[in-house]
Each structure stands twice: as C-alpha cells, then as structure tokens.
Chain A
Amino acid sequence: MNNQVRELRGEQGWSQADLAERLDVSRQTINAIETGKYDPSLPLAFKIASLFGRPIESIFDPGSST
C-alpha cells in the first residue's frame, strides 16, 4: 500500500520522531509506514489522517503496493 505520510510530514517540517510523538507510536513504526514495510491499522490510519487534516483515502492508496 502506497502512502503520502513522508511527503505530508515533510510539508509540516516534522522529523519522524516528531510525528511519532504526536501519534504516540515509536519512530520505528513511522519509518516502517513511510517505507511501506508496514500498513497501519484502521484506527492508526484515521489518527494520521486526522493529524494532517486530510481524508484517509488521500493519504493511503490501497490499490498499489510497494
């Protein structure tokens, strides 16, 4: 599953650690999501969408894989 998490984080000027702290997850988890090695659960995906103020489908693309 592709996602725009890295780009959106970059727009905010946040490090992976900053985003991890805001989402209450580890930096390892953010890194795994950004690189497509781990697909987040629905609750975490909604949390990410809410943090960036975007619809979930504009961040996560279930149609393609990395």
Chain B
Amino acid sequence: MRAVHKRYLREFIPAMSAYVLLVLLYGVLIRRTEAMPWRVVLAVLPLLPIVMVIRAIVRVIRDQDELERRIDLEAIAIAAMSTGFGYFSFGFLLNADIGLKFAAADVAIWVMPCLFGSFGVAKLLVARRYRSHE
C-alpha cells in the first residue's frame, strides 16, 4: 500500500469510528432526552467528525497519482448523479400514489449507503477500463 493511502486510513478510520460512536450515542440517549435543544445537539453532533472524514477524502484525492485521481473522480461523478437523480425519481414514485409507503426517516437514512455503494460499483467499472491482463 502506498504512503498516501496509509495516511488516508490513519485519518479516515479514527474519524469514521468517532462518527459511529456518536451515532450509537444518539441511538441510546435520544429516547431518554426530553429537552428540545439537547435532542438537536444529539442529532447533529455526529457531523463534527465528518469534517475530518471530508478532510481525509479530499487529501487522498488530491495527493494520489493522476490515474487514481481520474478513476476516483469519474466514480464520484457517476455515484453522485445516480444517487441524486435516483432519489429524485424515487420521490416522484412516492408522490405518484402507486402504493409505495415509506417513512421519511427510513428513506433519508439510505442516502449514504446508496452513495457509497454506487461509488464502489462505479469505481470497479471505471478502473476496468484502464486494466490490462497482459
């Protein structure tokens, strides 16, 4: 593994671990917290380590080599557009009154997994274009 990717893991893993811990903390405390300001704090607190996650992602994209950067940027573009417009169309389907019933929170919580999942698939497909088995 190249140094730039080792640094990425050193920065990404602690930040994402802090995010997961704060999400778990939200899950435990939100049921016991009545005061509105504290409920808001608990809900948005996980965003703090996300600043460090964004920093780690931006730094690895900026510092990896030019082909790696091209593959990641193409994959991010595909993932962002397919998730964004996919959700937009899903919204139309929900409004079309065709029997689909989902709670707003259930829909919102799947945005990030859809984005990461489509990025992973897109990256595999884009990277194939530059791969050779010679």
Contacts and interface: CB of A to CB of B under 8 A. Distances in A.
B132 A26 contact: no
Instruction: Name the residue in A28, A35, A40 with the highest tally of chain B Cβ atoms < 10 Å from its Cβ.
Output: A28
Interface in B38-72: 64-68
Nearest to A24: B65
A44 interface: yes
Contacts of A35: 132, 134
B134 A28 contact: no
A37 B127 CA distance: 11
A26 B131 CA distance: 12
A29 B65 contact: yes
A28 B66 contact: no
Interface string A22-40: 0011101101101101101
Contacts of A37: 129-132
Instruction: Name the residue in B64, B129, B132, B134 with the highest tally of chain A Cβ atoms < 10 Å from its Cβ.
Output: B132
Contacts of A26: 2, 64-65, 67-68
A64 interface: no
Interface string A4-28: 0000000000000000000011101
B67 A25 contact: yes
Interface of B: 2, 64-68, 127, 129-132, 134
Interface of A: 24-26, 28-29, 31-32, 34-35, 37-38, 40-41, 44
